[in-house]
């Protein structure tokens, strides 16, 4: 009787990394067609599936780019202890406004001192640092052994993770605050020269799209499209292979926040005190939320799951919305403006606020379940990976929380 073999397809990971269970160095070669016994096949595929599961889980627990993943949902896959403890701090030589990222046991953070820092996640010790050409507000992004970020001179840097040495440099015509995102071998980011850029991994320009305003936000990946709303108030869906804007919609106001994409919907806040939800198939607005009493910008990017949208504003409120219709589930007053984007992890949302507090709120009620008072201020958003919470302050201090061993 002819034997049938289960085919395990390669899977795409963060930053275009592929995993193939039959060609991984951690698994034995696949059994040949018509080869071993059924029992041997079952043993092999059980092992392969376990390795595949562990690989996927490990990749999901990383935080290699701004907002954690290519869809910028701001949701952490790694669990935190109920009462995180301060594990270590690191003091940079300048304010930190860009959110740190975490990849393969290393924290990467930029600062207004023009430095990119690589720190050991477990100890906070400096591995290396790299000097940019100007102060840096952009969050770094890591893919395939390279960390990418822009600076206020308009330079976009590619730095080798292993050595901290420059791999290449690309020059735009104005400051780069937008963080990078990745699609296959493409690197995408925005600039204050009003362009969205697409480079290959060697730093060669593939295309650039001109808009009528700054691009502060990080582009989001939706299939083969990049999604971004700019300071010209236009929501765009751009084909990554050639830079053509295939769909556009009016956001109605200046947009600095990055767009979170979940399923076929996009969520973004504007400077007109609104949170918008767009259908990505039609680019039509499905709903908008506008707080009836407070009129302040949403600078921070939203965090989104199937059950809840968390948007933090300069109105000093954390807004919890129903993702289906935009209706309010609850609000929490932080009593200070919120510039940093929230992060959802398990049953809680983590929020770093301007008065220096880091809060954990219950997702169902909005009640505070954990709080840390730093005495500083936060613009940078938190990053969560491997059971640890990392965030940088405007006093240049990077904090790492988790469970003490």
pLDDT digits (tens, 9 = 90+) for 184-231: 999 999 999 999 999 999 999 999 999 999 999 999 999 999 999 999
**Of 113-117, 239-243, 313-317, 346-350, minimum mean pLDDT range:** 313-317
Best CA proximity match to 140, nearest among 158, 123, 154, 124: 158
So what's the pLDDT on residue 41?
53
Place of tokens 């780069």: 176
The CA angle 5-11-15, to the nearest 5 degrees, is 165
Note whether 335 and 355 are within 8 A (CB). Answer: yes
Best CA proximity match to 395, nearest among 28, 111, 54: 111
Note whether 196 and 238 are within 8 A (CB). Answer: yes
Give the mean model confidence (pLDDT) for residues 268-291: 94
Give backbone dihedrals phi and psi of 313, rounded to 5 degrees, phi first: -125, 170
Q: How many residues does this entry show for the chain?
A: 405
Note whether 222 and 280 are within 8 A (CB). Answer: yes
Which pLDDT tens digit goes with each residue over 348-389?
999 999 999 999 999 999 999 999 999 999 999 999 999 999
* Residue 46 pLDDT greater than 70, yes or no: no
Give the mean model confidence (pLDDT) for residues 252-267: 95
Give the mean model confidence (pLDDT) for residues 286-308: 91
Of the spans 13-27, 39-53, 100-114, which averages the highest pLDDT?
100-114
**Of 52-56, 158-162, 201-205, 245-249, minimum mean pLDDT range:** 52-56
Tokens representing residue 9 in the block: 């397809």
Of 76 and 46, the structure prediction assigns the larger pLDDT to 76
The whole-angstrom distance between residue 151's C-alpha and the CA centroid of its chain comes to 18
pTM listed for this prediction:
0.85
Round the average pLDDT of the chain to a whole number and report it: 88
Where b means 16+ CB within 10 Å and e means fewer, 241-252 reads: eebebebebebb
Tokens representing residue 360 in the block: 């954990």
Tokens representing residue 238 in the block: 């751009």
The band of 1, judged by pLDDT with boundaries at 50, 70 and 90, is very low
Note whether 338 and 316 are within 8 A (CB). Answer: yes
So what's the pLDDT on residue 50?
39
Tokens representing residue 158 in the block: 């590619």
């Amino acid at each position: 009787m002819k034997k049938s073999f289960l085919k395990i397809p390669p899977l795409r990971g963060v930053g275009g990394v592929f995993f193939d269970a039959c060609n991984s160095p951690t698994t034995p070669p696949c059994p040949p067609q018509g080869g071993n016994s059924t029992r041997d096949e079952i043993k092999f595929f059980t092992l392969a599936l376990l390795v595949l599961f562990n690989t996927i889980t490990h990749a999901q627990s990383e935080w290699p780019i701004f907002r954690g993943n290519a869809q910028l949902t701001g949701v952490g896959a790694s669990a935190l202890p109920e009462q995180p403890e301060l594990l270590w701090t690191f003091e940079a030589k300048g304010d930190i406004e860009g959110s740190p990222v975490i990849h393969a046991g290393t924290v990467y953070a930029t600062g207004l001192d023009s430095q990119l820092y690589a720190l050991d996640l477990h100890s906070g010790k400096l591995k290396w640092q790299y000097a940019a050409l100007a102060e840096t507000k952009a969050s770094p992004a890591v893919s395939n052994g390279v960390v990418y970020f822009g600076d206020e001179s308009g330079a976009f840097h590619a730095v080798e993770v292993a050595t901290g040495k420059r791999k290449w440099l690309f020059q735009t015509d104005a400051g780069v605050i937008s963080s990078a995102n990745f699609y296959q071998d493409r690197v995408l980011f925005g600039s204050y020269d009003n362009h969205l850029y697409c480079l290959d991994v060697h730093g060669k320009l593939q295309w650039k799209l001109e808009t009528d305003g700054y691009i502060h936000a990080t582009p989001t990946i939706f299939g083969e499209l990049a999604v971004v709303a700019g300071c010209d108030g236009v929501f765009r869906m751009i084909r990554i292979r050639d830079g053509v804007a295939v769909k556009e919609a009016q956001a109605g106001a200046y947009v600095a926040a990055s767009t979170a994409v979940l399923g076929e919907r996009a969520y973004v806040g504007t400077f007109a005190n609104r949170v918008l939800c767009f259908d990505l198939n039609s680019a039509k607005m499905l709903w908008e939320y506008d707080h009836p009493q407070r009129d302040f910008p949403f600078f921070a990017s939203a965090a989104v799951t199937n059950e809840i949208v968390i948007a933090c504003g300069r109105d000093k409120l954390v807004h919890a919305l129903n993702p289906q219709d935009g209706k309010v589930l609850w609000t929490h007053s932080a009593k200070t403006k919120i510039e940093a984007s929230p992060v959802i992890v398990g049953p809680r949302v983590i929020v770093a606020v301007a008065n220096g507090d880091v809060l954990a709120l219950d997702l169902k009620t909005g009640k505070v379940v954990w709080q840390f008072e730093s005495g500083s201020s936060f613009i940078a958003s938190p990053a969560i990976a491997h059971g640890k919470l990392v965030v940088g302050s405007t006093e240049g201090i990077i904090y790492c929380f988790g469970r003490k061993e």
